[in-house]
Structure 1
Amino acid sequence: MNVAVIGGGGREHALVRKFAQSDRVETIYAIPGNDGMRDIAEVVPEIGETDFQAIAELCSSKQVEWVVVGPEAPLSEGIADYLESRNIKVFGPRKEEAKIESSKAFTKNIMEKYDIPTASYKAFTDYDAAYAYIESVGAPIVLKKDGLAAGKGVIVATDMDEALAGLDALMSDSDAPIVIEEFLEGEEFSLMVLVNGDYTHSFEIIAQDHKRAFDNDEGPNTGGMGAYAPVTHIPESVRQEAVDRIIKPMAEAMVKEGLDYFGVLYLGAIVTENGVKTIEFNARFGDPEAQILLSLMEDDLVDVLEKVGRKEAFTLTFSPGFKVGVMLASAGYPDAYDKGNALDFEAVREKSFVSGLRQEEDTWVTSGGRVLLVTGEGQTIEAAIDSAYTNVDQVKFNEDELFIRRDIGRHAIK
């Protein structure tokens, strides 16, 4: 069969690689894709990820049987609705269901209504009211933009100066609401869940992302500076608690609200002294968690999609050992950064996922904020960390132009 992957980043590179391993897949169309996928997919850079008509025409003409949507933007704009109306199968939620990511207030309201554990919160559209609320509750506190922000529209303010500056930043350029949340203490983890209405299949292992830009979890929030899996120092009982108290109730709540979710549901959760609580939901695979989890998954992705479509019970199989990914990012990210900087990753290309690179003749140059996820693996987390950084050190780049974190996976070493 032929399949299509929508998106052009590292998560989509991982999806393309996973489909390329399937004996059932003949051709993969990556729309728009990136140059790192050209060895295993037909890349279609002339079609943008929100050009629904062109995507539909290509999928119809090429007899594409499955479309998997990677990024949040086309989901929130209704790509699943558009393609399904033309009898093209899509793994990804429709516009209304994708509001679980595109509207934090929408999602918080559902969690409050159905008593799903999360931080206490209030939503504001009025600056003065939000200002007064922050002054009344104090810091630390969390401010979130209500809408898509590529993982960067969150400010964790440790003091009042940061909180009020964050309020100014989030409310200065948009009329969209902001959500102000209670700050939760604890260790975070990511759980991917396959959902079809009231049916859920939670991944049997969890991952851990590193959101802050710099070592020791310092600096601004980013789309993710690295990830690893499995997270064995967080016990299985915690994953199961998340399934029982958050995932299953949320799926049931969406059905009760008249929603019919089909796709991946990402749970960002935190282990607090009062149990597991929800930090966020996303309507797609996490990035860079997808690169790690899909690499570890031994199952055929087409088989998995079809089983979810039929609401079948099954077990995912993951390779033994650990996998760690370290993100190379452009200097200045997540704020302003330069493009067009050269790097050479040929020595570790098979161990890397392209996020923001393009090829100019024989040279790779940067084209985004997050550039390349370099991975390593091992039978212990320590060995996987060592492997990842050994591979990173084989990438040639100017250290004034790119940066990395040197502590990915260290939370797992006690």
Structure 2
Amino acid sequence: MKKAKSNARKILLVSKYGETLDIANAMLKEGNIVKMFIEEKSCREIGSGFCLKVSDWKKHIDWADLIIFDYTGYGEACEELRKSGKLVVGGSRYTDRLELDRNFGHEQLKKHKIKVLPSHEFYNFHDAIEFIEKNPDAYVIKPSGETQELKQLLFVGNDDEGADVKRILMAYEKSWGNKFGNFQIQKKVKGVEISIAAFFNGTEFLHPVNITFEHKKLFPKELGVSTGEMGTSMFWTKDSPIFDATLKKFESTLAKSNFIGHLDINCIVNGNGIFPLEFTSRFGFPQIMIQRAGILEPMGDFFFKLAQGQKFKINVKKGFQVGVFIVVPPFPYEDKKTFELFSKDAVVIVKKEMKEGLHPMHLKKVEDEWLITGDTGIALLITGTGLTMRDAQKNMYNRVQNVIVNNSYYRTDIGDRWHEDSDKLWSWGLL
């Protein structure tokens, strides 16, 4: 681990699953002192050898100059810490609820006079199936609460009568029974899926804002199961009609909620308008790492200024940033036996030194070797940047070829949709 500067900031990173190891590693390399706590027991080996690990983050509150929370569910703790005078980047009770309670999120969108797609909440599969039979249409199944963490359960129907959604609900009923929890059935619309994200300093959103295109399916050309994320393309912009129509309207409400952090809203847009789908009121993964590839200032400084409530322009690269996950079995599923057989402690080999674009994910360091750990099989994120999307893609995939991870797989088409999506967005007046 790199020796800290004499004026180094002491940063405590509180992580749910260890997804922000790359951010911890970056801030450490900048000369800060970083301590990392990981809540999920199966993930606690992540980051060992990279940075200092702690078993109880609350015992290090007084030590820290800055505390960063990387996930939802810590909103109440964030608010209490801010009241006590600590500098905190993280959520609030209000923003936690925006993400975790889909119905509340939709109610808030309506309250802020933002158009939303029709959706209905259900607590059992029978009622949902009966609803579709009475109201045939194309729908999306969206789990709520803790179940929404299992991204492969989200299902986007293609049948105009809803027959495919009915079949999936019947399958879920057999396999999950009453353990599934509540879920939404949302009307499906066609268009471009796009996310608008921005950092909030407690009073207002900072500019530029971030425009993101996620690639959620396991295989190229959007085939296979939903994984949550296989890769992302993005760019930064000073002005965005989609931002003005969505996140901007929440500025005063967020200020009242004592929120300082990152907020993202996923939308479907088409010639008929902008239709918000859901909030992510925390860092996105791999969004935050790809954002780091585009931010031209030390991340420790950036988060410190944000937590202080400073108003500043984010210094970013021009053009585009892209990122792709390199994963190993059993991703996107959890299977302990498969993970231990094929992936646990497998070595990540970098053929030539990379000063940029290499982002450790579920890894530990043993005698300077990077070994895969955790339980889900996300080894690395590789990023690329460029003035055009094609340049950024080429930069990223050249870097992918510099890495050897046994039994690994990744999407080969991250960013390919931009050519078609950008034409549509321009024609609709949304870029």
TM-score (norm 1): 0.83
Does residue 75 in structure 1 map to residue 74 in structure 2? Answer: yes
Counterpart among 20, 24, 27 of residue 19 in structure 1: 27
Write the mapping of 1:204-223 to structure 2, written as runs, cut at 5 A.
Answer: 204-223=209-228
Q: CA deviation at 1:120?
A: 1.6
Q: CA deviation at 1:307?
A: 4.7
Write the mapping of 1:29-108 to structure 2, written as runs, cut at 5 A.
Answer: 29-32=35-38, 38-39=49-50, 42-44=51-53, 46-47=54-55, 54-60=56-62, 63-72=63-72, 74-75=73-74, 78-81=76-79, 83-84=81-82, 87-108=85-106
Does residue 241 in structure 1 map to residue 241 in structure 2? Answer: yes
Structure 2 portions without partners, runs of 5+? 1-8, 39-43, 421-431
Decide which moves more: 176-185 or 371-380.
371-380
Residues 212 and 219 of structure 1 are in contact (CA less than 8 Å); yes or no, is this contact kept in structure 2?
yes
The one-letter code of the counterpart of 1:207 is T
Cα distance between partner residues in 2 of 1:349 and 1:86: 41
Residues 6 and 12 of structure 1 are in contact (CA less than 8 Å); yes or no, is this contact kept in structure 2?
no
Residues 352 and 373 of structure 1 are in contact (CA less than 8 Å); yes or no, is this contact kept in structure 2?
yes
Deviations 1:35-87 (A, max 9, x none): 55845xx330x52xxxxxx2121232xx2111111133x426x4424644665
Could you say what secondary structure the match of 2:109 adopts? helix
Q: CA deviation at 1:97?
A: 2.9
Cα distance between partner residues in 2 of 1:139 and 1:343: 48
Write the mapping of 1:132-171 to structure 2, written as runs, cut at 5 A.
Answer: 132-148=130-146, 149-150=148-149, 152=151, 153-159=153-159, 160-168=162-170, 169=172
The one-letter code of the counterpart of 1:246 is T
Counterpart of 1:365 in structure 2 is 372
Residues 293 and 383 of structure 2 are in contact (CA less than 8 Å); yes or no, is this contact kept in structure 1?
no
Count of residues in Structure 1 that have an aligned counterpart in Structure 2: 390
Deviations 1:168-225 (A, max 9, x none): 4386353632111111222222322222555222543422221111110122221210
Does residue 344 in structure 1 map to residue 348 in structure 2? Answer: yes
Seen in structure 2, the aligned counterparts of structure 1 residues 43 and 136 have a Cα distance that, compared at 3 Å, is farther
Seen in structure 2, the aligned counterparts of structure 1 residues 305 and 36 have a Cα distance that, compared at 3 Å, is closer
Seen in structure 2, the aligned counterparts of structure 1 residues 137 and 150 have a Cα distance that, compared at 3 Å, is same
Find runs of 4+ consecutive structure 1 residues off by over 6 angstroms.
none
Does residue 378 in structure 1 map to residue 386 in structure 2? Answer: yes
Residues 18 and 46 of structure 2 are in contact (CA less than 8 Å); yes or no, is this contact kept in structure 1?
no
Counterpart of 1:411 in structure 2 is 417
Seen in structure 2, the aligned counterparts of structure 1 residues 130 and 251 have a Cα distance that, compared at 3 Å, is farther
The one-letter code of the counterpart of 1:410 is D
Could you say what secondary structure the match of 2:126 adopts? helix
Counterpart of 1:298 in structure 2 is 296
Structure 1 portions without partners, runs of 5+? 48-53
Seen in structure 2, the aligned counterparts of structure 1 residues 156 and 303 have a Cα distance that, compared at 3 Å, is same
Counterpart of 1:131 in structure 2 is 129
Cα distance between partner residues in 1 of 2:182 and 2:347: 40
Residues 18 and 47 of structure 2 are in contact (CA less than 8 Å); yes or no, is this contact kept in structure 1?
no
Cα distance between partner residues in 2 of 1:21 and 1:396: 24
Counterpart of 1:272 in structure 2 is 270
Cα distance between partner residues in 1 of 2:207 and 2:201: 12
Seen in structure 2, the aligned counterparts of structure 1 residues 31 and 366 have a Cα distance that, compared at 3 Å, is closer
Cα distance between partner residues in 2 of 1:121 and 1:390: 43
Seen in structure 2, the aligned counterparts of structure 1 residues 19 and 173 have a Cα distance that, compared at 3 Å, is farther
Residues 8 and 355 of structure 1 are in contact (CA less than 8 Å); yes or no, is this contact kept in structure 2?
no
Q: CA deviation at 1:137?
A: 3.1
TM-score (norm 2): 0.80
Residues 89 and 306 of structure 2 are in contact (CA less than 8 Å); yes or no, is this contact kept in structure 1?
no
Cα distance between partner residues in 1 of 2:106 and 2:134: 21
Q: CA deviation at 1:407?
A: 0.7
Counterpart among 229, 234, 258 of residue 229 in structure 1: 234
Deviations 1:137-181 (A, max 9, x none): 334211111114337152212233431244343863536321111
Counterpart of 2:3 in structure 1 is none
Counterpart of 1:51 in structure 2 is none
Cα distance between partner residues in 1 of 2:183 and 2:354: 40
Could you say what secondary structure the match of 1:339 adopts? helix
Q: CA deviation at 1:300?
A: 4.1
Could you say what secondary structure the match of 2:221 adopts? helix
Cα distance between partner residues in 1 of 2:145 and 2:245: 25
